[in-house]
Amino acid sequence: MVASVRLGKFLASAGVASRRAAEELIRAGRVTIAGVAVTDPARDVSEGDPVAVDGATVSVPVGRVVYAVNKPVGVVSTARDPQGRPTIVSLAPAGVRLYPIGRLDIDTTGLILLTNDGDLAHRLTHPRFEVPKAYRAVVSRPPVRERALRALREGVELDDGRTSPARVRRVAADALEITIREGRKRQVRRMCEAVGHPVRRLERVGFGPLELGSLREGACRELTPEEVSALRAAAGG
């Protein structure tokens, strides 16, 4: 770090958490500079300032990495879990401090990204950048008829407001591919429920320009520089 930078951004760059989560840590009083608690995420820190989270010293890692993981059912999309359930981070190589870019429900499978690059994580999850995410949903009460498909494409009314238009393709009588640019909690499940077809199985198969492809369940792989560049481009970086 050759110049001063805001504390929230510094923690994100250090791989502590996404920028939003890092700001929450700061406001909770868990971050110190030279042993003094700081609660303002906009506070500047400079090279040599001793920053710590919960007493552990924080430094910016030399290399930025992004991993793709095929999340199984029963794995939580967090770095740690107070209930002792398996976490998505446990599927990544040891020795690198990573955290997930966004989340998948515990009963949803498929593509999730892990990184130590806070700026990239922020861009990929912030609603302003509208990075698309694609899902394969197996639903109840087939067949899914045109009326339901049209409603999903145009937007459906949920308890937290109307959804934005989605790209929807019927791939079988009981299976849909749905691409959304929002990130509401359990959004795809709630959308399908709203049009009369509750989800039985849900898998994320795409994130921006990336596809799950043949990555086996529970496996992870590091993205190539070209794939990371494509992700940055999709997030306006």
Question: Which amino acids are annotated catalytic?
Answer: 105
Distance between CA atoms of residues 87 and 55, nearest Å: 23
Tokens of 163: 């959804």
Instruction: Give the closest residue to 219 by CA, choosing from 117, 97, 92.
Output: 92
Residues linked to residue 181 through DSSP beta bridges, in sequence order? none
Give yes or no for a contact between 230 and 209, defined as CB atoms under 8 angstroms apart: yes
Which amino acid, 125? T
Burial zone of 20 (CB within 10 Å; 0-12 exposed, 13-18 middle, 19+ buried)? middle
β 199-207/210-211 pair status: antiparallel
The torsion region of residue 143 among left (phi > 0), alpha (psi -120 to 50) and beta comes to: beta
Tokens of 2: 């050759």
- The answer for residues whose C-beta is within 8 angstroms of residue 117's C-beta and 6 or more apart is 13, 15, 64, 65, 66
Distance between CA atoms of residues 195 and 178, nearest Å: 13
Residues linked to residue 227 through DSSP beta bridges, in sequence order? none
